Amino acid sequence: MSEQLSSPWRHWRHVVKLDPARTICDQALQAIAASGTDAVFLGGTQDITYENTNALLGRLRRLAPNLPLWQEISTVDAVVDGVDGYAIPLVLNTADPHWLIGAHAEAIEKYGSWIDWNKVLVEGYLVLHQAAAVAKLTKANVNLTASQAAAYALAAETLFSIPVLYIEYSGTFGDPALLAEIARTTRRAHLFYGGGIDSYEKAAAMAEHADTIIVGNALYADNWRTVLADTIRAVK
């Protein structure tokens, strides 16, 4: 199997993340389909259910039939069929081991025989914005220096062979210098960056260091058309 087929995420520069618990119109979904983004992730932290995830998936399959659609799993009860792959977050800087390995072991015990591991991508998350819902839920230690964050990233890559590191500043724009230090320190890991990407300039700044830019919250603002076009233009 070619790398393009087995690891499509290595070729992504721009990804849209949509929250099943939030409202988005068909016009926006059609624009996302035509925009040139590389993939869509379905995921969020709060109020994620099987019903709202499956409903959004159905709309995307109808309106954006050619886009790769992946589910980022935050609760095992919301896992849906019909996506192209599953992204599994491990929160590296959590104070609660449930979010590093506990929830994952529970899910594997329950569903392990049904999991197609060829469709699973492990993401090592560094959650770095205190006010983010995911930081509060996972009790993440967000007060990391650039060198500490890079050490977490290198440990995830070398000790645990995690292929993707997701630098998450959900709700705010992060520190380009911290991201640059992670990119300089790590060797093979693919870097995702998400948080506060709502303009050409911000997307370009983080794309200098990250392999893939994630755009989410800004697509629910009134200027979503401009955000979508400008962020794609910045990274491509």
Q: Any idea what the CATH number is for the domain that residue 215 is in? A: 3.20.20.390
- How high is the pLDDT of residue 70? 98
Q: What does DSSP say about strands 164-168 and 14-18: parallel, antiparallel, or unpaired?
A: unpaired
Residue 113 scores a pLDDT above 90? no
**Spatial separation of the C-alpha atoms in residues 16 and 33, rounded to whole Å:** 10
The count of residues in the chain is 236
Q: How far is CA 92 from CA 118, 138, 152, 153, 166, in A?
A: 23, 10, 7, 8, 10
Residue 2 within any structural domain of the chain:
no
Range of the domain at 67: 12-235
User: Does the residue 1 lie in any domain?
Assistant: no
Which residues are documented as binding site for Mg(2+)?
A: 19, 45
Provide the pLDDT confidence category of residue 42 given band limits of 50, 70 and 90.
very high
Give the tokens for residue 108: 């594997």
pLDDT band at 157 (very low <50, low <70, confident <90, very high): very high
What is the reported pLDDT for 114?
A: 84
Burial class of 185 by CB neighbour count within 10 A (0 to 12, 13 to 18, 19+): middle
Q: Which of 225, 226, 233, 231 is nearest to 28 (CA)?
A: 225
Does the pLDDT value for residue 76 go beyond 80? yes
- For 108-118, what is the mean pLDDT? 86
Asked, for residue 97, whether it belongs to a domain, the answer is yes
CA distances from 13 to 16, 59, 175, 203 (A): 10, 24, 19, 11
Domain count, the chain: 1
What is the reported pLDDT for 231? Answer: 98
Question: Is residue 6 situated within a structural domain?
Answer: no
Neighbours of 70 (CB within 10 A): 23
Is 7 part of a structural domain of the chain? no
Q: Residue 225: is its pLDDT beyond 50?
A: yes
**pLDDT (mean) for 171-176:** 94
**Which residue ranges are tagged as binding site for sn-glycerol 1-phosphate?**
17, 166-171, 196, 216-217
The pLDDT value recorded for residue 220 is 95
- Residue positions forming the annotated binding site: 17, 19, 45, 166-171, 196, 216-217
The beta strand positions in 46-133, using DSSP E, are 69-72, 85-91, 120-127
In a domain, 119, yes or no: yes
pLDDT band at 162 (very low <50, low <70, confident <90, very high): very high
